[in-house]
């Protein structure tokens, strides 16, 4: 941190490489741990999205949440009858709401998780939660601070990449310029 500011950098390409043909990561260094960036980028594989600026915006929102709270925004865990990926999709839906049918229908992996758009195969009981509620209840934030930070993060987590906040929009957000 320099003068109350910190640089955001990505070392992802130094640790792994995306193989577009297989749509998977090939680790250049097998001993390297999974990075926060890779965990956030997992949404590209889960939701069938392309890598690029919108994926970086999503990842930055996940990273900002983690830096502000010390916890991962989505911390999926496998269960007895469902995989880590199943739980990851469920946690995204719990926070952001139902995945729009046009995204589910366009996703080639939808049948791995959904019986029909919006109905998960292996997890039928979801527990919707709000980002301001998580920040206030779990992390002790004031309702005002939780609402302001949530207003910054949620546009960066829009399901549709073309509707997701851009970097320029995020940088102009009131939460960034607040003292």
Per-residue pLDDT reduced to its tens digit, 9-50: 554 444 444 444 444 443 333 333 344 444 445 556 565 556
Domain count, the chain: 1
Our CA angle for 153, 148, 55, nearest 5°, is 10
Using alpha carbons, select from 81, 83, 84 the residue that is nearest to residue 72. Answer: 84
Spans of the chain, pLDDT less than 70: 1-50, 117-118
Residue 4 lies in a domain: no
- Residue 130: per-residue pLDDT: 97
The pTM is what?
0.76
29 burial (CB, 10 Å; 0-12 / 13-18 / 19+) is exposed
Q: Mean pLDDT score of the chain, rounded to an integer? A: 77
CB atoms within 10 A of CB 74: 22
- Residues of the domain holding 63: 35-177
Q: Identify the bridge partners of residue 24 per DSSP, sorted by sequence position.
A: 19
Return the CATH number at 102.
Answer: 1.10.510.10
């Amino acid at each position: 941190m320099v003068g109350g500011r910190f640089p955001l950098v990505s070392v992802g390409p130094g640790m792994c490489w995306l193989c577009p043909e297989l749509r998977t990561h090939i680790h250049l260094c097998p001993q390297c741990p999974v990075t926060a960036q890779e965990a956030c980028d997992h949404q590209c594989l889960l939701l069938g999205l392309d890598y690029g600026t919108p994926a970086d915006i999503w990842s930055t929102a996940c990273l900002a949440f983690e830096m502000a709270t010390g916890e991962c925004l989505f911390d999926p865990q496998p269960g007895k009858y469902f995989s880590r990926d199943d739980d990851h999709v469920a946690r995204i839906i719990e926070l952001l709401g139902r995945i729009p049918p046009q995204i589910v229908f366009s996703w080639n992996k939808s049948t791995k998780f959904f019986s029909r758009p919006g109905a998960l195969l292996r997890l039928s009981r979801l527990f919707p939660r709000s980002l301001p509620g998580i920040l206030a209840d779990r992390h002790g934030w004031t309702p005002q601070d939780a609402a302001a930070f949530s207003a910054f993060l949620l546009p960066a987590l829009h399901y549709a990449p073309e509707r997701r906040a851009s970097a320029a929009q995020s940088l102009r957000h009131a939460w960034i310029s607040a003292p």
